[in-house]
Amino acid sequence: MTRIGLAPVLGYLIIEEDFNIALGVFALAGLTDLLDGFIARNWANQKSALGSALDPLADKILISILYVSLTYADLIPVPLTYMIISRDVMLIAAVFYVRYRTLPTPRTLAKYFNPCYATARLKPTFISKVNTAVQLILVAASLAAPVFNYADSIYLQILWCFTAFTTAASAYSYYHYGRKTVQVIKD
């Protein structure tokens, strides 16, 4: 929930070009993500279906807001942001489709939107995990660029290209492996 709450704050700080504070808030969001994962892995009674649903949602919201606002601030190119957002929209659409297909009849809106009623689990591919890390590295590097005065660096531009490559590879991996990335949960 903290990352979801921090996402619009980060977007505002970036649009207002307050990159020093934005970099600190981004670091805080990263720490809350690490802490959340650590707690869920080490204390079984702290793991929940709602938390399992909110964690990837928080990641998508945070990444989307960060990329759109960093693009607005001319720190990330528009085509790259379009590519990242498009991939995420396609993945979310696929998750909604899988959710519909795996929901037992009668299918109701209450059942469909109940995060405690899990019917399938998406298993991220290896390249998708790499892509998430690369996207976050690019966000951190882009936020730090105006703070440390390297916004026009060739290394940042290479990171844009590498991020585009991993994003395309990740999208392809979900297309190629399709059903192998979805685990249907049987009661």
pLDDT digits (tens, 9 = 90+) for 74-124: 999 999 999 999 999 998 888 888 888 888 888 888 888 887 777 777 788
CA–CA distance from 174 to each of 18, 116, 118, 167 (Å)?
Answer: 37, 25, 20, 11
Mean pLDDT of the chain: 88
- The band of 148, judged by pLDDT with boundaries at 50, 70 and 90, is very high
Number of domains in the chain: 1
Query: pLDDT at residue 46 above 70?
Result: no
Q: Which of 20-24, 47-51, 123-127, 151-155 has the lowest mean pLDDT?
A: 47-51
Whether the predicted model's global pTM rises above the 0.75 cut: yes
DSSP state of 104: P
Report the CATH number that the domain containing residue 154 is assigned in CATH: 1.20.120
For 127, the domain range is 1-186
d(CA 153, CA 159): 10
CA nearest neighbour of 129 among 27, 43, 37: 37
